[in-house]
Chains A and B, each alone.
Chain A
Amino acid sequence: MSVNKLAYYPGCPSEATAIEQHMSTEAVFEKLGVELVEVEDWNCCGAAEVEDPRVVYALNARNLAIAEKEDLDIVTPCSICYYNLERSNKALRADEALRTKLRGIDSSLDYNGTIKTKHVLDVFVNDIGLDEISSKLEKKVNVKVAPYYGCYIGRPPETAFDDPDNPVLMDKLIELIGGEIVPNFNYMKTVCCGGPLMMTRGDIAFDMARKILDVAKNAGADCISLACPLCGMMLDGKQADIEKALDVTIGMPVVYITQLLGLALGIEPKKLGLNKNAVDTKEILGMVV
């Protein structure tokens, strides 16, 4: 194992709507023997709502600089935070003038470009490694899973760390812990959940999320697995609203990949926040042997 300590960037939803992703990420890393040091006084990455790239770079320079002071690479469980951290890291490393400009705005934005930014999936599979994880597994998570990756894992090309059309990192973890990947879901793996339009064009967002839920259900999945809190809010948090608005019954449990992995590592379901997912996850717990 090549990694034993990382700076941890939880992202805003970790404090509210995606607290279960935060809880399970911390619990899993602890069990894997990797120390997470939360980026002190971290600020929002800008999400999808700050469109001006220069503002995004400045917001993330502060977070990167805090981790750099500790000389630690940054890991985040959120795909949007990852995209913003990574593209800012790339832009700041390549552009001396930009770094100078930001330093002039405030000394806390003084980042020298010496650390790496990573998504948890990337760290699990490519840094810690499947062999190492395998040696720590205590239980078999015997579930049929529709692995949903969303947008920022395989796209855009300069920040992607998996295949744009058929990403596989989550599939590998699910198979490792004894789960089964449902057939006929592959083409939905990276189709956007509609989350960015939830507040402004809820009708479109609901149609998009419903497609993913329907395909997972028709493929015979016991649950959908995710790696992004906005996807979680859309597919899990809003699922009952989608059912009501579109007059359909779905009832599809949606869990974060860190929650599934945590179960396989023998961590208490409550410590993984499995009582906090909006759609009940009790059936999934019954499949852990």
Chain B
Amino acid sequence: MPIKTWELDPNFKNEIMSEAGGERLASCFQCSTCTLGCPIAEIVPGYNPRKIIQMSLLGMRDEVLSNPDLWICLICQTCTARCPQDVRIADVMGALRRIAEREEEAGKLKIDSPRPLFDKAFQHQLKKFGRLYDMGLAMEYYPKKEGSFIKGMLAMMKDYKDFGMRMFLKGKMGPLGGGSPVKGMLASKIKQKDVMKKIFEELGEEGKEK
């Protein structure tokens, strides 16, 4: 479909370049090295980081921010390592994801991926305990992803029943796992949890709203 030049946002590239990680966007000269080495592009038809960069430079703000492909980047850094222009594509994608999340929070966009929910649940667990708590993360993420507690638990069981049992039998998670009677089953908490709270409140997305 042709680009509607009158709908382009000439300021979009500046918006990205003022976001941490997005600074080097304008150095791209469209060589496609990022896409040729991308392991996702090998599996998902049409996935094209070069195109996302060019659309960003042109100012196709809505198309870029609502593109579900932003959320299947692995941050594996292959593109960043190979880019001859040091665009830091993996970091640019991160900057785009954060802008998209803010747009969604402002009610201007609907993100077509459960990944922001997962990242938020992870950060929430981290803020609460100071360490990753696998089971707590799954219990928080699945209900949000599925839209209800019951549906969430069913989906979690479908994905993780066998895995959980395997980890339990190997003594990694569950009542007898992890070198202590309840490791993995209960959260491992750090003493200075208050510092985690301060970090997220001062620097995280919550801090920005203040």
A187 to B182, CA, bound (A): 41
B20-A53 in contact (CB<8A): yes
B162-A17 in contact (CB<8A): no
Q: Is A96 interfacial (CB 8 A cutoff)?
A: no
Name the interface residues of A183-203: CB closer than 8 Å to any CB of B: 190-192, 194-197, 199-202
A48 to B93, CA, bound (A): 13
Name the interface residues of B67-106: CB closer than 8 Å to any CB of A: 71-72, 74-78, 80-82, 88, 90, 94, 97-98
Q: Is A16 interfacial (CB 8 A cutoff)?
A: yes
Q: Is A154 interfacial (CB 8 A cutoff)?
A: yes
B39 CB contacts on chain A under 8 angstroms: 191-192, 208
A238 CB contacts on chain B under 8 angstroms: 163
Contacts A16-B173, A46-B126, A156-B90 hold; do A106 and B198 have CB atoms under 8 A apart? yes
B40-A152 in contact (CB<8A): no
A196 CB contacts on chain B under 8 angstroms: 74-76
A204-B203 in contact (CB<8A): no
B71 CB contacts on chain A under 8 angstroms: 200
Residue from the list A58, A106, A155, A194 in contact with B81, Cβ < 8 A: A155
Q: Is B118 interfacial (CB 8 A cutoff)?
A: yes
Chain A at the B interface: mostly helix, strand, loop or mixed? loop
Indicate the size class of the contact surface on chain A. 35 or more
Q: Is A30 interfacial (CB 8 A cutoff)?
A: no
B141-A199 in contact (CB<8A): yes
B77-A155 in contact (CB<8A): yes
A17-B94 in contact (CB<8A): no
| Proximity string of chain B (196-209) to chain A, C-beta cutoff 8 Å, 1 when within and 0 when not | 10111011110000
Residue from the list A43, A51, A160, A276 in contact with B190, Cβ < 8 A: A43
A241 CB contacts on chain B under 8 angstroms: 162-163
A178 to B106, CA, bound (A): 59
B191-A41 in contact (CB<8A): yes
Indicate the size class of the contact surface on chain B. 35 or more
Distance between B77 CB and nearest chain A CB, rounded to angstroms: 4
A52-B203 in contact (CB<8A): yes
User: Which among A164, A197, A200, A204 has the greatest number of chain B C-beta atoms within 10 A?
Assistant: A200
A195 to B74, CA, bound (A): 8
B132 CB contacts on chain A under 8 angstroms: 12-13, 44, 47
Residue from the list A55, A200, A237 in contact with B199, Cβ < 8 A: A55
B162-A200 in contact (CB<8A): no
A108-B195 in contact (CB<8A): yes
Q: Is B166 interfacial (CB 8 A cutoff)?
A: yes
A204-B163 in contact (CB<8A): no
B198-A105 in contact (CB<8A): yes
A199-B192 in contact (CB<8A): no
Q: Is B18 interfacial (CB 8 A cutoff)?
A: no
By beta carbon, the residue of chain A nearest B86 is A157
A105 CB contacts on chain B under 8 angstroms: 198-199, 202-203
Q: Is A109 interfacial (CB 8 A cutoff)?
A: yes
B203-A54 in contact (CB<8A): yes
Q: Is A50 interfacial (CB 8 A cutoff)?
A: yes
Contacts A59-B199, A200-B113 hold; do A16 and B76 have CB atoms under 8 A apart? no
By beta carbon, the residue of chain B nearest A239 is B166
Contacts A156-B81, A192-B76, A194-B74 hold; do A51 and B97 have CB atoms under 8 A apart? yes
Q: Is B24 interfacial (CB 8 A cutoff)?
A: no
B205-A52 in contact (CB<8A): yes
Q: Is B44 interfacial (CB 8 A cutoff)?
A: yes
7 CB-based A-B contacts, threshold 8 Å: A43-B130, A50-B119, A53-B21, A54-B20, A55-B199, A55-B203, A192-B76
7 A-B pairs with the lowest CB-CB distances in the bound complex, closest first: A192-B76, A12-B132, A49-B122, A155-B77, A16-B184, A155-B81, A43-B130
Further pairs besides A50-B123, A204-B40, A278-B166: 16, Cβ < 8 Å: A12-B132, A15-B184, A17-B134, A19-B177, A42-B190, A52-B203, A106-B195, A106-B198, A108-B192, A108-B195, A154-B81, A156-B77, A191-B39, A238-B163, A240-B166, A241-B163
